[in-house]
Structure 1
Amino acid sequence: MNDDQITFHGDELYDAFLTRRPVAPLLGRNPDITIADAYRIQERFVARRLTAGEVIIGKKIGATSKPVQDFLGVYQPDFGMLTSAMVHADGATIDLGALIQPKAEAELAFVLKDDLKGPGVTAMDVIRATDYVLPCFEIVDSRITDWAIKIQDTVADNASCGVFVLGTTKGDPRRLDITLAGMVLEKNGELFSTGVGAAVQGSPANAVAWLANTLGDLGIPFKAGEVILSGSQSALVPVADGDELVCTVGGLGSCRVRFSGKAAA
């Protein structure tokens, strides 16, 4: 794709974010779009948000677990940028009216104490560079109509980033077995799904190492203090007005989020 096409689609996705009106799948309109093209579109989309006053506070890994891959029809990981406008505290009530077609997923967030840059980063390097881990929810939201996405669509759409909610209980990944620690997700007081860290690329630390190396090849480091979302350990959860979700990680603690209003789509 040429520069004008990249700019057009990045701006189109930014406008969809502002207006909460989704756009037709990019791949359907551009059959030759590559994943490299899609990341350039993502860069333009994120740049528009930064120009408007947001700052990057971390990164996310998407499409790491089989339930999410099966739902999306996307069978390889991707990544997106987290900004200051996306983060919410434990127990927050999310206004669905600010989103288009949100779905929630429960996962583990890594907060870094050291810079980390690939290539060559291992899962042990990730553990050493991590200050603490937190239970969290990511509320994904596609700017593509009806979630009709392929990998190029979700990559261009900043890995379908919506907002995220961080728990308050801090765990030391050198003491907590993040691979075997179980996760229980409840919706409105009833069990919705269970998961385990090993469902995410064998370990959440493996997923974070993959991202560090992928971004390192692009000259992009992890920075101390950044939040890294390691990928869903749950199935995607539909959410509506009045819903409450709680995810609990064994040996760590819980994260809670509520929802109000009606999404645009």
Structure 2
Amino acid sequence: MSLFLYAEKVAHAQANHKAIEKITVTNPKMTVEEAYEVQKISIEQTLSAENRFIGWKMGLTSVAKQKQVGVEEPIYGRLTSQMNLQTNELIAAEHIHPRVEAEVAFVFNKELKGANLTPLEIWPAIENVFLALEVIDSRYENFSFTLPDVVADNASSSKILLSSQAFSPYEKNWADVKVKLYHNGEEKLEGTGAAVLGHPINSVIQLLNMLEKEGRGILPGQLVLTGGITDAIHVAAGDEVVADYGDLGSLTLNVK
């Protein structure tokens, strides 16, 4: 099967909310590079005037998660405007097995491109920081996949809920920001920004390193989800998830 056909298969699963067999069952030799090409093609198939490309997301940004799948660097996915929730409601029927995690997101006002950039070079290009809940939803049966599978599936990207308040990048030391994640009123998880590669800015550095291999970068106006501060909680219709960021405020997602 060609990479284009694999991309169509993934895009169809995403559009129809139907789980599929992981790609590596039929193509166990698929490389990560090929998987990124599948990701690119499948997302490009969804783009339109109503669904614009808006940025990037990072995954596997904790050392524990990297060891779990046997890699030494994160992965990335693509974000589109239809992933951005306009209200705090998530429709469970539009997903296969949705899970929610707390993050912070950066929006950029300058182009960044190149490997091994430093925080000194990156901070001036960050316009705003948003609190974020990311909904991930693997399109594979039983939420089971290998590294090439999850890359091809756009790093399990699904939906994003951003805070209505934008913060200055200099508002906080974002490595120290503490988040508590509540599920139906019960505290389930907590973490700090340091869970994201020691500091969320390091996630941007890693993203740029990977994009440089493709001759790409981050463009003005683009959003970057830096990676999970907490693990993800499985949700279903009727659930409420609250991420409490302390004095920065909180985000609430209601699952219908």
TM-score scaled by structure 1? 0.90
Amino acid at match of 1:10: A
SS at match of 1:242: coil
Tell me the secondary structure at the aligned position of residue 2 of structure 2: helix
The answer to whether structure 1 residue 187 and structure 2 residue 183 are counterparts is yes
Structure 1's 52 and 36: CA in aligned 2 closer, same or farther, altered over 3 A?
farther
Distance (whole Å) between structure 2 residues aligned to residue 191 and residue 125 of structure 1: 37
Q: Is the Cα–Cα contact under 8 Å of residues 85 and 160 in structure 2 kept in the other structure?
A: yes
Matches within 5 A, 1:92-171: 92-171=88-167
Deviations 1:17-56 (A, max 9, x none): 1221111111122111100010111111111111585210
Secondary structure in 1 matching 2:226: strand
| Greater CA drift, 244-253 or 186-195 | 244-253
Aligned match of 1:263: none
CA distance in 1 between partners of 2:57 and 2:111 (Å): 16
Contact 2:63/2:197 (8 A) holds in 1: no
Q: Which residue is 1:50 aligned to? A: 47
The answer to which of 158-167 and 175-184 deviates more is: 175-184
Provide the secondary structure at the position in 1 that maps to 2:173. Answer: coil
Across the aligned residues of Structure 1 and Structure 2, the Cα RMSD in angstroms comes to 1.8
The runs of at least 4 consecutive aligned structure 1 residues that moved more than 4 Å come to: 66-70
Identity of aligned residues (%): 31
Deviation track 1:183-228 (CA, whole Å, cap 9, x = no partner) reads: 1111222211110111111111101111022112311121111110
Partner of 1:24: 21
Give the TM-score of the pair, scaled to structure 2.
0.93
For this pair of structures, how many residues does the alignment match? 255
Which sections of structure 2, spanning at least 5 residues, go unmatched? none
**1:141 to partner: Cα distance:** 0.7
Deviation of 1:12 after TM superposition, in Å, equals 0.5
Give 1:205's aligned residue: 201
Secondary structure of the residue that 1:85 maps to in structure 2? helix
2:229 paired residue among 201, 220, 233: 233
Question: Residue deviations 1:54-95, cap 9 Å, x none?
Answer: 21011000111256557x746441101100110014x51110
User: Is 2:113–2:218's contact at 8 Å kept on the other side of the alignment?
Assistant: yes
